[in-house]
Amino acid sequence: MGKEGWSPHLGRGYEFTCCPGERTSMCGEDTYAGVLSVCLLVVGFLGAAACTFLIHHLKGHEPLTPEDLALTQNPIVHEGSRLHEAVEQHMWCVTLDDLKQFRRLVLHAIVTGMIKPTDQDPFDATDTRIGPSVYTVNTQYIKPVTAAAGNPSWALMIHPQGLKCDLFITHGWAEGIFEFLDQVTSSWPYGAKAAYVCFLSNPQNLDIGGMIASPEESPFARALASATQVLAAPNHKLSIYTRAWCVFEAYLAYSWGKAIFTARALPPQCWSRTLRASSWSIMMLGICFCTMMLGNRDWALFSGDLVFLANIVFASLAFLLGISFLYLMTTGRYEWKTTEVAVFACSTFVAAYLATNTFQLSFRRPSNFVPVCLAPLCAWAMEYDRLLGAETAKQTRYLRAGFTGKIRNAMTSNPADLESIRNSIEASGTEAAVDEAVAVLLRMNISTPELCLATARAGELGNASNWSRGLFAISLVFWITQAFNTALWRTEPGFAWIPPVAAAEALVAGIGFQLMPRDRMAFAQRSQAFLLLVAPKWIPGVPFGGKWGDVIVNGVVCPFVILVAFAGPSCTARVPVLGPMIVRLLFGRNPFQYSRRGPADPVRKQSAENGSASLSSATALAEIDDFVSI
């Protein structure tokens, strides 16, 4: 259409005019559009500039608090040996706040020279990502500080009454202290109150060798029996599964049916870098809206035909860049510069498409204003997925480094400990099962009863330790747009039920999916891929819209997605034929190829003899066919 018969009107779309360039009414909304466009531009520019500055220049350290100083300068003196005899071993624990405090103290000790590089550990004193090894921190800091407090462990020095263990952390001492602390604090499970961390929980100045002479009666085993969850912390030096104690802890956790998660630190400068992507999206929206709503007023820059053509081009480019980003992510090219460029370029063309589309039609349409509001969230989510993917790939490499696939090759610094651990596992007759358990953890990162049942019913599943924030953000655009659309149009008799149902579905998807248990979160988010079934609704010329289209969308497809998400992988896999196919499809496996495993894993059948805290879960797990981790 040329400008002779139509004029753009934000909020009203194209309006027919009697004369070229003449508007049928005063466009007060144009003023609001101009203000909105300028505000987007200014906010986006300032946000991008601030985030870039923080990424390149922020190097500050968190200062010590008065409580931090009092702990090391004026410690309360205890008689360590008696204290550890009085407090049960599974109560030698620390909290999340304790770990954050310990990080501040260690960083301060490095700055002041209390912790120094050695020939065995020539760490970089300015590095706050890896830091000195646990060996170095233990020798130069933990031992002197706890000695001044009467030789208790760090945990009982802070909490003399003890804290019941509900989280067990398995790790290797070759790791950097900051590497370990950042992983644990970032991955701390919701609801966990106190964790057993061996270098903080055990009294380093007392006879630890005597405490761990019998692996089954050691503080490690006692704490693990009390815990409900296990966190495995990888490190950059070598796989934790090359260490015999870590293997033994994995063996106990697996046999007792504990939920096992792999710890993962947030990517470096995660919030600054993701918010920069979001700010870029806001700035591009501001630039494109200023160009169209202010610069192109009365067709000063572009004709109607040119705007229509540009709209198609921008939409196509945005789609192609989105597909390119998806391909790069699925092939593991997280750190490629091309992948990062795809995020920012996609945001740019999405902004251009939204601006030209809004200029042609109306900002009042949900299909316009909802994407405009959520475009920055989508950009943030894509960049977060990219950064997290790179961090996850790195952690996977760490877990495999030096691991031969056989637990019998694991080593310890004390030959007597190694002999005891090997004897315990060999006597159980479950060495092969433990090898398989570790292999699955290496491949899939999480093991829970829910996922064990899912694997038993659907066969081996792919890695689903991550859920895509990008998929969630894009699907959120659909849920909210559909809720607004139906509220505007579905007022016909017999179809008035659709708007409240659509609003309820949007709330469930936007809030309910985020409250899922950790082992079902990835499955729930991935189930939203089935929303592609309603994609034809937005293709011009396809007869899938209107009231009957909304009946199919909100009465069939959306309830199906929500039902699958809340059923979880194990319940979904119970549905004959179709259920296992859906589970395998959502976990990245061929939906047409799956096989059930053989008899139940013998290692789980020993749980009745090991720790009453996990008897109920172990009894259920003894009846399933395989081990799973997501």
Which pLDDT belongs to residue 155? 95
Average pLDDT, the chain: 83
In the predicted model, is pLDDT for residue 26 greater than 50? Answer: no
CA 440 – CA 398 distance, rounded (Å): 15
Q: Which of 449-463, 488-502, 534-548 is least confident?
A: 534-548
In the predicted model, is pLDDT for residue 186 greater than 80? Answer: yes
In the predicted model, is pLDDT for residue 101 greater than 90? Answer: yes
**95 dihedral zone (left: phi>0; alpha: psi -120 to 50; beta):** beta
For the segment 367-380, the average pLDDT, to the nearest whole number, is 93
Biggest CA–CA distance in the chain, Å, is 96
How far is the CA of 181 from the CAs of 143, 233, 235, 563, in angstroms? 18, 9, 11, 38
How far is the CA of 386 from the CAs of 179, 188, 341, in angstroms? 20, 22, 11
CA 276 – CA 49 distance, rounded (Å): 8
423: buried, middle or exposed (CB in 10 Å: 19+, 13-18, 0-12)? exposed
Which pLDDT belongs to residue 140? 96
Q: Which residues of 545-562 are buried (b: 16+ CB within 10 A; e: fewer)?
A: beeeebeebbeebbeebb
CA 212 – CA 6 distance, rounded (Å): 84
In the predicted model, is pLDDT for residue 378 greater than 50? Answer: yes
In the predicted model, is pLDDT for residue 25 greater than 60? Answer: no
For the segment 247-255, the average pLDDT, to the nearest whole number, is 81
Confidence of residue 30 (pLDDT cuts 50, 70, 90): low
In the predicted model, is pLDDT for residue 558 greater than 80? Answer: yes
More confident residue, 593 or 450: 450
Cβ neighbors of 38 (< 8 A, separation 6 or more) are 286, 290
pLDDT tens track for 42-59: 999 999 999 999 888 766
Contact 445, 587 (CB under 8 A): no
CA 518 – CA 605 distance, rounded (Å): 26
Confidence of residue 290 (pLDDT cuts 50, 70, 90): very high
Confidence of residue 419 (pLDDT cuts 50, 70, 90): confident
In the predicted model, is pLDDT for residue 403 greater than 70? Answer: yes
For the segment 591-620, the average pLDDT, to the nearest whole number, is 45
Q: Tell me, what DSSP letter sits at residue 554?
A: I
pLDDT tens track for 68-79: 888 888 888 888
Tell me, what amino acid is at 282?
I
In the predicted model, is pLDDT for residue 261 greater than 70? Answer: yes
CA 292 – CA 308 distance, rounded (Å): 12
Confidence of residue 594 (pLDDT cuts 50, 70, 90): low
For the segment 33-43, the average pLDDT, to the nearest whole number, is 88
Which pLDDT belongs to residue 245? 81
In the predicted model, is pLDDT for residue 116 greater than 80? Answer: yes
Which pLDDT belongs to residue 625? 32
Contact 169, 258 (CB under 8 A): no
Handedness of CA 349, 351, 357, 359 (dihedral sign): negative
CA 418 – CA 416 distance, rounded (Å): 5
pLDDT tens track for 350-367: 999 999 988 888 777 888
Tell me, what amino acid is at 63?
P
Which pLDDT belongs to residue 623? 32
Q: Which of 201, 239, 236, 242 is nearest to 221 (CA)?
A: 201
Q: What is the β-pairing status of strands 6-7 and 15-16?
A: antiparallel
3-state percent helix, strand, coil for the chain, nearest multiple of 5? 65, 5, 35
For the segment 61-67, the average pLDDT, to the nearest whole number, is 84
HSE toward the beta carbon, residue 451, CA cutoff 13 A: 31
In the predicted model, is pLDDT for residue 217 greater than 70? Answer: yes
Most confident residue range from 4-18, 47-61, 286-300, 379-393: 379-393
Q: Tell me, what DSSP letter sits at residue 62?
A: P
Which pLDDT belongs to residue 313? 95
Collapsing DSSP to helix, strand or coil, 446 comes out as strand
Contact 142, 200 (CB under 8 A): yes
Which pLDDT belongs to residue 463? 74
Which pLDDT belongs to residue 618? 35
Confidence of residue 544 (pLDDT cuts 50, 70, 90): low
